[in-house]
Amino acid sequence: MGQISHTFTKEIIDKMTYFYEDNTEKSPQGAIFRARTDNAIITAYHSGKVLFQGKNPTEEAGIWTTFTNETNEQVTFKETQPQMNNPYSPPANFFTSSHIGSDESGTGDYFGPVTAAAVYVETSQIDALKKLGIQDSKAINDETIIKLATKLAEMKIPYSSMVIPNEKYNEIQQNGWTQGKMKAMIHQGVIESLLNKLGPVNSEGILIDQFCQPPVFINHIQGEGKTLAPNTYFITKAETHSIAVAAASVLARYRFITEMDKISDMVGMPILKGASNKVDQQIAQIIQAHGREMLPKIAKVHFANTEKAEKYL
């Protein structure tokens, strides 16, 4: 089991406390919280030290170290090309040029759909979006997401968003689609939709927040008769380099939040995000109130939470 630690400001730890509130466990003495995700166990202490332990602690810590440096100052967007030596790496001037970015949300949450958005940002809009506070949606709370999404609408930033509803998600998952294929297809969908809306534009290209190797992405979409648009690039942590991807992450999360509100209204209780043991308990409550037939309408039933909930019935 790997282990790393970082020291963060109170502001960042407050964001982490909110971010992990649905994944918390009993905290050890002296800790603010302890939470468990698929990547790591996260323990935050009053001293500002945060310990990441598990199979992939570096990736989990990267959510937070991406936006802070070792002195915990806010980091600006990285406008240089990432160190990548492959044909899918964007050109050096990409991040300061007009371009499209795409991102998805909801893939790690038991309840709710998978959502995605693609956003087109012109060079003249980049500074304004940075000043607005656009950044990776994982680092900001839902209230801020809603405010930023409203501001993006007011600025008339061109975008497209899509949803894979839970019933459709469960159907295609049972027919053999992996979540990776679903993500590839919904990215492809929002990009195609946005390109159709835009028509000819002066764009440097398209950047997809990389969740699989580009050839795998291409195989997924080609299997459904789709082709990769020209000048499409892939990098991990794209939202730290591209304001368009960061804006897409905000709009994808906003769409996810609104869909979760609909589910909350449907079942008559606030629905939890994430996939923690608290979610297991809520699954049991929903089964008792609405029957098991409700789950495929509101949840990703192949997640292990469905089975774990049995002990609470």
CATH code of the domain covering residue 201: 3.30.420.10
Mean pLDDT value of segment 97-107: 94
Question: Which tens digit of pLDDT belongs to each residue from 108-157?
Answer: 899 999 999 999 999 999 989 888 888 767 777 888 899 999 999 999 99
Mean pLDDT value of segment 91-106: 93
Higher pLDDT, 12 or 284: 284
Residues 124 and 190 in one domain: yes
Does 240 reside within a domain? yes
Residues 143 and 240 in one domain: yes
State how many domains the chain has.
2
Question: Which tens digit of pLDDT belongs to each residue from 164-223?
Answer: 999 999 999 999 999 999 999 999 999 999 999 998 888 889 999 888 889 999 999 999
pLDDT at 254 over 90: yes
Residues 244 and 152 in one domain: yes
Supply the pLDDT for residue 78: 54
pTM of the model: 0.75
Residues 48 and 122 in one domain: no
Does 205 reside within a domain? yes
Which of 222, 245, 261 delimits the end of a domain? 261
Does 26 reside within a domain? yes
Cβ atoms of residues 243 and 134 within 8 Å? yes
Question: Which tens digit of pLDDT belongs to each residue from 8-66?
Answer: 888 788 777 766 776 788 888 889 999 888 788 999 998 889 999 988 888 788 777 65
Does 279 reside within a domain? no
Residues 105 and 249 in one domain: yes
Higher pLDDT, 157 or 73: 157
pLDDT at 72 over 50: no
Residues 20 and 121 in one domain: no
Supply the pLDDT for residue 73: 37
Query: What's the domain range around 46?
Result: 2-65
- Residue 26 sits in a domain whose CATH number is 3.30.310.10
Which of 217, 245, 261 delimits the end of a domain? 261
